[in-house]
Structure 1
C-alpha cells in the first residue's frame, strides 16, 4: 500500500478515534495528507454554481475547501471518517462533500438511464468510508448510507467505494482493524458493478393537521433549506406557493431560512427551534445537494432532535418538498428517506412529501411567474393545500402530479447545456469552462 497516496478526510469530532485512523496510516507507510474537518472552516455551499460558470473548477469562497479539493485530486484514494445520522453523512463531512461539485463539469450526460454531470478531470480517486455508528443506528440507516456513498462515487466518476461501520464505543484495536480493512480495500482491484438504483418512497402519512378548537387558525412554518439569499431559491418558490395557498384558506405563516438559523458544528439553533414549536405544520423545502440533503439542513435536523429530547413535548407535523437539478425526480429518494428518518426521531408526524426533478426550469422565480410550464407542480400544490386544510394528507396522485416533468428530459438537458454556456459568457469565463485548476494525479 506504500505506493498509494491517500487523503484522509477526518470528519470525526476531536478525540482518539480520528487520531487512531491517522496513526494507522502513518504506521502503514502510506503517503497521505490529513484534513481534520472539524478544525477547518467550510462555508456551506450556497448553490450559486459559480464554481462552474464564474471560476470554473474552484469555489469563490476563501476557506479550506479549495485546498481540500487540491489534495483530493492528487491522491489515489480518499479515506473518509464520519459519524452517521439518519443514514447520512455528519454535517461537517457533508459540508466538505457539498463543496466538491467544482471537481466535475456542469454539463449533463446520461449514465445507465439517469442524468449525471460529465467529468472535468480524466481520473478521480477511489473512496473508502469508515462510518461510526451508535446503538440507535438501524440496519436501514446502514444500508441507506452505503447506498448514498455509492451514489456519491457514481456522480464523482469513481469506482464503487468500500464502506465499513464501527461502533462509537469500540476500542482502539477495533478502530485499527477497520482502518486496515479500508486500506486493504483501496489496495485491491476496484470492484466491478453499478451503483444501486433508487426507489421512490411511498407516501405513508402518519397524521393529519386537524383544525384547532374554537376556530383558531393553524400556523404553518416554511423552513427554507437553500442557502441562497431570501427570495431567490427554487425551494422557497415551491414552498412559498404552498404556504400562500394555506394562508388564503385562513392559516397564519412565517418563514425561517437555514442560512440564518443554523451553523455547521453548533448544536443549538434557537430561532429554528422556537419557530418549529410555534407551528402546526412545517413545510421543509430543500434542494438536493450531492445526492442528499444540504449540510445545513442535516445540522438543523440534528439540532431539532437534540431540542426535542431536551424538552419533550408535542411537535408539529412535517411536509418536505425536495427538488433537484437533474430532470429525474428519482434522484431525491434518499433525501426523502433521510427526512423521514429524522422526522421520526424528532417526533414530527409525517403528512406526506413532494419531490420533483428539473428544478432548474423554475430557477428561483415565483411559481406563478413560470406559467404553464410548471402547471403540474402548481396543480399538485393547490391540491395539497386543499387537502391539508380539510384535515387530510398527501396522497400518491398528488405526489405523482408534482413529480411530472415540466419538459422532457432530453429538452431539459439541451436547455441546460446552453444555459451553462450563457452563464459563462455573462461571467466572462466561457473559455475557462473546461479548465482543470487542480493538479491531477497520474495513474501508475
Structure 2
C-alpha cells in the first residue's frame, strides 16, 4: 500500500519527518470510546479549545500505544487519549513557557518509538422524482442523476459516511437511510444529533449525499445508499484533529464504502494522513472538500493523493469562493444547494462542503452499479467518466462528475471509459 501523503505537485504540505515536531494551533481535549474500536481515554471530551494539546504518533511496531505514551512523556504531561488503530496519543501540557514546552516536545520526539509530534489542531467545515422540493434543486440534474436513477437510485448495501457536525437522523428525508446509530466524538455522551438548530452543516451534507429520493417529501439526495454519521465537528463548524481522526476511523470500521469529509485545513498532519490511509485499507474511498478560501492550493485532507478532491461550481464555472490547484480531481455543483437542515427543515447553503457530498453520492451510485470496484478503482472511474467543461485542469481536474456516465459506463481496468452498460 502506497503511503497517502501530500501530492507531489502540491506545495501546501509541511513535512513531518521522524523525530520532528510542529508547535502551535488550538485543540479539543479528547475523551474516547472503549472497546474493540481501539480508542481509549477518559470518559468525557473536554471543552474546546485546549491550546496546549499535542498529538504524538508512534511507530507501527508499538503494540500498546497508551503504555508507550505514558512511558514517553514527562511526569507533568497528561496523556489524554490513545488510538491503537491509527497509532497516536494526545497529550496535554500544563501552562508553561514556550521554551519549556518546546523542550518537553523535543524530548518526547527523541524517544525511539515516537515518529512525530504535532498540534491537536482545529480543522473547519468548508458548506424527476416526486419529491416536493425537487423543482427547486439543480445539482442532481446538473450531474445527470435522472438518467442514472433509471438504472439505480443506490443500493442499501453501499454505505456513505458523513464525518461532520451532528446529523438529524430522524429528518423525514434521512430517517430511511440511517441504520446503525451514529457516533459522537464531541463533548460527552453518545448522542450524535445536532446540539441546536443552527448546527446545520452535517445534516445539509448528509441530505445531499444520501437524502431519500422519490419519497414524496422535500428534496432528493444524489443517492439512496445507506448513511453512517459521525459527529466530529462542533456547532461552530470546527473540530480537533484527534476527534476528526477518530471519526474517520469509526466510519471505516463501521463498513463505510465512501466517507465524505467536508472540512479541511491548509496544513498537512501526519495523524490525518494516517487516518485516511487506514480508511483506504479498510475499503473506503474518501471524498474531500477543496476549501473556500479562494486559494490556489487545496485544503487537507482533500489534497492527499488518494482522496478525491472536489472544487465547487457556480453554474458551469468555478465558484468564486472555491479553492483550486493541482490536487483538484473533479468539480461538482456547490452554490445555493437546497438540502436538509434541523429540525425537519430545508435550506440553501454554498461551499465546497456541498460539492463534496454530490461526488460522494455519485460514488455511491457508481458502486451500486459496479459493486466489485475497489476504492482506488472507483476513484479512477469517477475521473474517467467526468464531463470536461473546457476549464484548466488545475481548476476542474478531470471535469464535472457525471452520475449517468459513472453508472452506465463499464469500468475499464486502465481507467479509460468503457462501453455503456445501459441507458
Structure holding more helix per residue: 1
TM-score over 0.5 (shorter chain): no
TM bin, normalised by shorter chain, reads 0.3 to 0.5
